[in-house]
Chain A
Amino acid sequence: EVKLVESGGGLVQPGGSLRLSCAASGFTFSNYAMTWVRQTPGRGLEWVAALTDSGSGTYYTDSVKGRFTIYRDNSRNTVYLQLNSLRGDDTGVYYCARDRYSSTNAVRGWFDPWGQGTLVIVSS
């Protein structure tokens, strides 16, 4: 069974940091680009970051550039999202998702499956 399981969310103060993890199983992780998408009451679904199968290519939405870092460890079948300088509008459920099809050094941009999500709350 193809599965993604996120962890690492929680309550953090403004300006703080968190590292989200997404553990993959049931497929050859190193063959697929991976993505993080967040869902907030105010902005709905928002794509946050993506990286290629090797991790050599990374892409971010403007609001998180310089604050968030996406990276992966293919030996551990895990993709990470490091969240720094957190703000209140970063609050939401963070999902990791896999590109639907495998590709080499590219990201396709439509996603399946998704993990169950991990909740990040930024508040003092």
Chain B
Amino acid sequence: DIQMTQSPSTLSASAGDRVTITCRASQSISSWLAWYQQKSGKAPKLLIYKASTLENGVPSRFSGSGSGTEFTLTISSLQPDDFATYYCQQYNGYPWTFGQGTKVEIK
């Protein structure tokens, strides 16, 4: 199975901060990576797919980059609505696997 490792596990930041989350794959997954946002008690929401393609309706302050084994999700200016947990997910090969999540907390 392809292991997905996110860092950090928790991130404390203030509104307006630039935030970067890293996701590493245990083997190359090309650009077959998605990012999701999950708020407490809610289902995950798709933010980005194919590593860098922004889903319709997602604010442009979110961006994704990377290929192969290393990927990043960046929030250019953190907004109050962005405090949540973020997950990466590879869909290069079965079983599709998720990272363990990065919780973005209010500093």
Residues of A at the B interface (CB closer than 8 Å) are 44-47, 50, 59, 61-62, 95, 97, 100, 108-117
Q: How many A-B residue pairs have CB under 8 A?
A: 53
In the complex, how many angstroms separate the beta carbon of B93 from the nearest chain A beta carbon?
9
CB of A59 within 8 A of CB of B94, answer yes
- Ordered by A's residue number, 22 sampled pairs between the chains whose C-beta atoms are within 8 Å are A44-B87, A44-B98, A45-B44, A45-B98, A45-B101, A50-B96, A59-B94, A61-B95, A97-B43, A109-B32, A110-B34, A110-B46, A110-B49, A110-B89, A110-B91, A111-B34, A111-B44, A112-B55, A113-B45, A114-B43, A115-B43, A117-B43
Residues of B at the A interface (CB closer than 8 Å) are 32, 34, 42-46, 49-50, 55, 87, 89, 91, 94-101
Chain B residues with CB under 8 Å of A95's CB are: 43-44
